[in-house]
Amino acid sequence: MEGCATPTSGRGGAWITEEFIEAYTRLHRQGHAHSVECRLQGELVGGIYGVVIGGLFAGESMFHRVNDTSKVALHHLVGHLRRRGFALFDIQMVTPATKPLGAIEIPRHEYLHRLSAAVAMKCSF
C-alpha cells in the first residue's frame, strides 16, 4: 500500500492515507486483504492488493518501480484466483495493463448478478 501511495509522474497517491493503510492492515490481519508482491534482490518493486469476500477478489491498487512488475504480480494473482476457484476479480477498470490478461467490461446488471453469486461462495485465498 505504501508503494501505491508513493506519488509518481502521472499518478498521485494522496488518496491512500495513513487511516486507509491502518484499515487495510486490520483487514489483512482478519484474513480479508491480500497482496501479491514482486521483489528484486529483496526490494519491493511492484505489486497489487485487494480484498476477498467469498469468491470475489476486489483489486484496490497496483504499482511498479521496475517496468512491468505490476503486470507480473497481476498475472500471478489471476492464476492464483483461478486455481482457488474464485468467480469474480473486480479490477475497477480495464486498462492497457489489464486487457492483455483478459480484463473485460461487463454491463452493470451482469456485474451485480456475478457479484451476488461470487460473495455467496466459500473460497480461500
CATH number of the domain encompassing residue 61: 3.40.630.70
Q: Give the residue numbers spanning the domain of 67.
A: 2-119
Give the tens place of pLDDT for each residue, 12-71.
556 678 888 899 899 999 999 999 999 999 999 999 999 999 999 999 988 889 999 999
107 found inside a domain: yes
Backbone angles phi, psi at 103, to 5 degrees: -65, 135
C-alpha cell at position 113: 448478478
125 found inside a domain: no
Q: What angle do CA 84, 87, 15 make, to 5 degrees?
A: 95
Q: Is 70 helix (H, G, I), strand (E, B) or coil?
A: helix
What per-residue confidence (pLDDT) applies to 5? 66
**How far apart are the C-alpha atoms of 52 and 22, rounded to whole Å?**
17
What per-residue confidence (pLDDT) applies to 72? 94
Q: Check if the beta carbon of residue 91 is closer than 8 Å to that of residue 73.
A: no
